[in-house]
Amino acid sequence: MTKWTAAKIPDQKGRTAIVTGANTGLGLETAKALAAKGAHVVLAVRNLTKGEAAAEWISRSVPHADLELQRLDLGSLASVREAADAIRNKHDHIDLLINNAGVMTPPKETTADGFELQFGTNHLGHFALTGLLLDRLLPVTGSRIVTVSSMGHRFTPGIRFDDLQWERSYNRLHAYGQSKLANLLFTYELQRRLIGQQTAALAAHPGGSDTELARHLPRAAQRAVPLLRPLFQEAAMGALPTLRAATDPGALGGQYYGPDGLGEQKGHPKVVTSNERSYDIELQRRLWAVSEELTGVTYPQPQDARA
C-alpha cells in the first residue's frame, strides 16, 4: 500500500486554515504544506516578529503562498478572545482549525489567568479558541478541527481534578502528559457533540520529532537528546499525521493519526489508538464541564450556529 505523503493533500484553493504555533516546528511545516496546496493560511502566533520570519520562510519556498498573521497567546484568555474576534471579523467561514501550539515540560509556571502553563496553554487555550470559532466552522461542508496530542498522553496517571494546576506538587512530565491527555479527551467529546454536523474533530501526534519543543526538558534529558536524535524524524515528517487528519478525504471524525513505524516514533501517518483513559466518556464529559467553567467559554449548540 502506498504511504501517505504531503503530495496526497488535495487542492486547498478557496479554503481558510488557522494554524496555531505556526512560526516554528510542526506548525510551520503544516502551514507551509497547506499554503503549497493553495489554502489561505492564518499563522496564529504569540510573537509577531517570529511570525513574520516564518511567513518569509514559507514564501521563499511557496512564492504564491496566501498568508495572514494573527497574534495569539494561548496562555492568556484575553488574548484568545481578541484573536478569535479578529479572525471572526475577517473570515465568515473557516475550513480548518489546527490546534498545534504547545509547550513541553517547562519549570513550574502559570499562565496569565493562573493556570499551570502546560494545561493552560496546550488544553484550555485551545478549548477556548475552538469554542469561540466554532460557529465559523459548523456551516462549512468538510470543515475539520485537528488537535495535536502526543505519545506523552501515556505519561500520566490521569486528570488531577483535585489539583489541576499542580499547586501541591509539580511533576513536569506528568503535567505535560495531563495536558496531552486532555487534548484527546477534548477531541473525542467534541466529535460526539458534532455527530450529524458538517464539521469533524480529529487528533494527531507527531511521534518523535526534532523540534524546539524539547528545549524545556530537564538537564539530564537534554544531555541525552544528541544520542537520541537518530530516533527522531524531521518536523516535515512529524507534521504529516496532522496534515492527513486535516485533509485526507477518507479521514473520519474521532480518528487519531500518528506515525506507522516502530513504537509510532517515526514514519508515515496512519490511524492509531490512544490509551484506555482517553476513551472514558465520563472523564471526557467531566473535563469538558471543568474547561467551560475555567475558560468561561460555553460552546454553541449546532442549531445555534445554523440560525
Query: Catalytic residue positions?
Result: 176
CA quadruple 81, 47, 213, 117: dihedral sign: negative
Grid cell in block for residue 45? 502566533
> Which of the 8 DSSP states describes residue 116?
B
Q: Which residues contact 71 (CB under 8 A, 6 or more apart)?
A: 44, 45, 46, 48, 51, 79, 82, 83
Q: Is 145 helix (H, G, I), strand (E, B) or coil?
A: strand
Dihedral, 114, 76, 92, 21 alpha carbons, nearest 10: -110
By the 10 Å C-beta count (0-12 exposed, 13-18 middle, 19+ buried), 292 is classed as: middle
Residue with cell 493556570: 115
Beta bridge partners of 54: none
Q: Which residues contact 291 (CB under 8 A, 6 or more apart)?
A: 123, 124, 127, 182, 186, 297
Alpha carbon distances (Å) from 37 to 32, 122, 260: 9, 27, 24
The span from the CA of 182 to the CA of 128, in Å, is 13
Are the CB atoms for 234 and 258 separated by under 8 Å?
A: no
Dihedral, 184, 190, 195, 197 alpha carbons, nearest 10: -120
Kind and range of the H or E element at 40?
A: strand 40-45
Beta bridge partners of 16: 40
Q: Are strands 269-272 and 256-259 parallel, antiparallel or unpaired?
A: antiparallel
Q: Is 62 helix (H, G, I), strand (E, B) or coil?
A: coil
